[in-house]
Amino acid sequence: MFPAPDFRCTSNDSEDTELRFVTCQSLWNQIKSETEQIQENLNKQLLENLVSFLSRSHSDFQEKTTEWTFKMKFREIPTAALVLGVNVTDHDLTFRGLSDVLQDNITPYVAMLEAKDCPGIKNLMQKLMGQLMNCDLDVDSLEDEDCVQVSQNRVRCSMPSLISWYDSVTKKTDSETPSKKRNSSSRHWQSPPVVVVFKDMESFTTKVLQDFIVISSQHIHELPLVLIFGIATSPMIIHRLLPHSVSSLLCIELFQSISCKEHLSTIIDKLLLTSQFPFKLGEKVLQVLINIFLYHDFSVQNFIKGFQLCIVEHFYSQPLSVLCCHLVDIKKRVYSLSHDQCENIRRLPSFRRYVEKQESGKQIELLTNDSFLKVETKKLLEDLHVYHENYVRILRCLHVFTSSLPKYPLGKQIRELHCACLENRVWETEEYESSLQLARMLNKTDLVTMLQQCVEILMSSSGKEFDRAVEKLKEFLTQFQNLEASQERDVSISPQKELQKKTDLYHLQKTLLELKESRRSKKLTKFEMLRFEVVDYIDSLVRRYLVPADERTLHEVVYFNGAAVLRGHLNAAPRTALHTALNNPHWYLKNQALRCDGGGISNKAPDICIVYKLHLECGRLINLVDWLEVCDDANSTFTCFHARFIRAVSELELLGFIKPSKQKTDHVARLTWGGC
């Protein structure tokens, strides 16, 4: 792609840089196409609905039926209100997909308008016509550019000219029916509708929207116009932006895109909870990404961007990431490792822990014999793959249980459960304990359906790992069925008993007390026994398979754990950095003279820090003369003091802490809070 950059630059990095870079790129490309696929699938339904709506709205015009004229009499413009959610950054992708689909299926005349291009109705019309005529150009790319450029400039941007353009274009396609046109005319209808998309409805000025709607409604019988509003908040906004007189000109149909949370869940499901990709995220990293999503932007695009950054960082900083590849390549890659890389493996903390557990002979082999190490590494890496595959299955099984418990002690979403399991041994947590407690109180029907789901999940795995587990679960299921049969008999007896004893209150009370007594003393019913067994079995599976990743040997190879780096790059806090630098220069400049305790500041600190500290003591306005003198007293030993003061003040101004004030001569105003 491009020659220069790869990972060649870190310190210990003669190792496999090129291969790492290639692996990284190919992995990212796979993931990227996967995410695009996901997005497409998720939007499929929405787009289909929209397309059918558009073809409906336009078929009337096509056939010139009475219904259309009827509608036309009321001058209603067919309008699709597309509720997309607050994750504005993701909308672009949806719209791109939409316009592609429309141009393929319905009409070549699609115009996308954004509020920032349309401050007035004139600009809107200009933009609209420009886009429409350009797409015309795309369809029959015969006319040369200049011609269109000229016409675009010359044509007065008004509705009539738009209509005459539309007439000419449709006529042209009508008359011009030779073979080369057949393709496009078969794709589109005879007089395709003109679709105008308002990408960000909320940001348009009311007047522009109103004017456009009113004007175009006058011409709806000449021009089959369809509007699409992209809405980020709620459909109510249409009525807030448009008065009744205007909104009554629209025939609105509502469309809802999938929520961004669902989208994220799918992405996590398809990217992380799968063995398709060798690269994995550590707990903290995942938490950072999810938090950015939930607390900052709801943007799936940004989540994916963060994921990309994780991949890049991992492959860049971890020389052993060369082993982060698909199972089939592992053998080749492991055996071609250099000696330095072997040393890198030996240095991994998880590997050291592993070595310590081995007997002494093997320890020596592992630490001295490279080829022995390679064999072992290959085995460990394969184990890791297997571990992950099993982990995902059992995680899903556990999620089946936890997601239906009241109050969701382990979280409702599978991602929460995943984080909890990655963080530490989930079975040692309180939440897990309480979910087991709750699971022991599930009723039978729920339990049976859950078991069935688990069986399905485990059956879908290719390996033989879970054959026994499946068998066991099936056994539980049959036991439940048997139980049902036997219980029916029990049940049939008890109501008879009840019926016999419908005498007086005293007796009733007595029997109830007896019943209570017996229940307390009574041994668990068969069902309860079985339920305990099931829960215990699930618990044993969890303990066996949901071991946190960082307890696995060589997890560093595939798990990325640089949460701090990630956060620094994606969710930076520039104000905090500035604040720290000004208040505590020692944080950055490791000089003993700058060490200071508790709020004070050394007078040897850089000028700007001193000036900043002093300015904090002031009110809304600061007299420059006083400020200068205070500093002067503090630092009079220096000759060019005045100049340095001036510089420091200018710097503070540049940083936005102060600005010159007109209120009083030679005063500056503070722009930040605090201590006022």
Partner 1 sequence: MKWQEVKASVTILGTKVRKDKAQLSVSVKRFVKKLENISDNEAQEVLEEKNYVAALGICAQDPVGNGSNISGGEVYSFQTPKRSNKMAELASELAQTPEQNVAPDHSKCPEKMAKTPQNSKRSSSDKVQQKSKKKEFVSTTPYRLRKRLAAPDPYLESESEYSASCSEEEDEDEQKEVSTVLSDQKTPAKTKAASTPPPRNSLAKKNKEQKMGNLVEEYFEAHSSSKVLTSDRTLQKLRKRRLSQQTLHDLLKNAPLAYAAEIRDLNQQHESLFSKWMLQLHLGFNIVLYGLGSKRDLLEKFRTSLLQDSVHLVVNGYFPSITVRSILNSITEEVLDHIGTFRSPLDQLEFITKRFKEDSSLELYVLIHNLDSQMLRGERSQQILAQLSSLPSIYLIASIDHINAPLMWDHAKLSLYNWLWYETTTFNPYVEETSYENSLLVQHSGSLALSSLMHVLHSLTLNARGIFRLLAQHQLEKKDNPSYPGLSFQDFYQQCREAFLVNSDLTLRAQLTEFRDHKLIRTKRGADGVEYLLIPVDDTTLTDFLEKEDEDV
Distance (Å) of CA 463 to CA 171, 458, 459:
63, 10, 9
Separation between Cα atoms, residue 239 and residue 251, nearest integer Å: 13
User: 652 vs 579, 615, 636, CA distance in Å?
Assistant: 12, 10, 21
Distance from CA of residue 302 to its chain's centroid? 6
Which of 269, 599, 203 minimizes the C-alpha distance to 414?
Answer: 269
Cβ atoms of residues 402 and 417 within 8 Å: yes
Quick check: 381 and 554 in contact, CB under 8 A?
Answer: yes
**251/272 with CB nearer partner 1:** 272
Comparison of 513 and 572: residue with beta carbon closer to partner 1: 572
Burial class (CB in 10 A: 0-12, 13-18, 19+), 605: buried
Question: Minimum Å distance from CB 618 to partner 1?
Answer: 5
User: In this complex, which beta carbon is closest to partner 1, that of residue 516 or of residue 659?
Assistant: 659
Nearer to partner 1, 311 or 457 (CB): 311
- Shortest CB 249 distance to partner 1, Å: 29
The nearer residue to partner 1, 512 or 589, going by C-beta atoms, is 589
Q: How far is the CB of 281 from partner 1 (least distance, A)?
A: 13
Q: Answer whether 501's CB lies under 8 Å from 511's CB.
A: yes
Question: Is residue 322 helix, strand or coil?
Answer: helix
Shortest distance, position 45 Cβ to partner 1, whole Å: 25
Which residue lies nearer to partner 1 by CB, 247 or 661?
Answer: 661
Whichever of 489 and 590 has its CB closer to partner 1, that residue is: 590
Instruction: Rank residues 477 and 548 by Cβ distance to partner 1 and give the closer one.
Output: 548
Please identify which residue in the block is written with the tokens 């509007």: 227
β-bridge partners, 449 = none
Answer yes or no: are the C-beta atoms of 106 and 280 closer than 8 Å. Answer: no
Q: Which residues contact 51 (CB under 8 A, 6 or more apart)?
A: 101, 102, 105, 106
Which residue, 299 or 390, is less far from partner 1 as judged by CB?
Answer: 299
Q: If you search the block for the tokens 């798990």, which residue do you land on?
A: 559
Q: Which helix (H) or strand (E) holds 616?
A: helix 607-616
Backbone angles phi, psi at 280, to 5 degrees: -130, 155
Burial of 87 (0-12, 13-18, 19+ CB in 10 A): buried
For partner 1, the closer of residues 11 and 500 by Cβ is 11
Which residue type is seen at 26?
A: S
225-231: strand order across its sheet: 110-113, 194-198, 225-231, 77-83, 250-256
Give me the least distance between CB of 497 and partner 1, in Å please. Answer: 51
Closest distance to partner 1 from the beta carbon of 278 (Å): 19
Q: How far is the CB of 591 from partner 1 (least distance, A)?
A: 5
What one-letter code names the amino acid at 477? L
CB 218 within 8 A of CB 75: yes
Pick from 515, 385, 537: nearest CA to 462? 385
Q: Among 553, 536, 505, which residue's Cα sits nearest to residue 383? A: 553
Closer of 98 and 608 to partner 1 (Cβ):
608
**Least distance CB 80 / partner 1 (angstroms):** 22
CB of 609 to partner 1, least distance (A): 9
Nearer to partner 1, 6 or 376 (CB): 6
Kindly state the smallest distance separating residue 321's Cβ from partner 1, in Å: 14
Looking at residue 116, the DSSP 8-state letter turns out to be G
In DSSP terms, 231 is beta-bridged to: 83
Nearer to partner 1, 555 or 567 (CB): 567
CB of 238 to partner 1, least distance (A): 21
Contact 250, 213 (CB under 8 A): yes
Q: Which is nearer to partner 1, 97 or 483 (CB)?
A: 97
560-to-253, 280, 354 alpha-carbon distances in Å: 46, 6, 20
427 dihedral zone (left: phi>0; alpha: psi -120 to 50; beta): alpha
Q: Nearest approach, Cβ of 336 to partner 1 (angstroms)?
A: 24
Smallest distance from partner 1 to CB 341, Å = 21
Q: Are 435 and 407 in contact (CB under 8 A)?
A: no
Cα angle value 481/487/488 (rounded, 5°): 95
CB of 104 to partner 1, least distance (A): 21
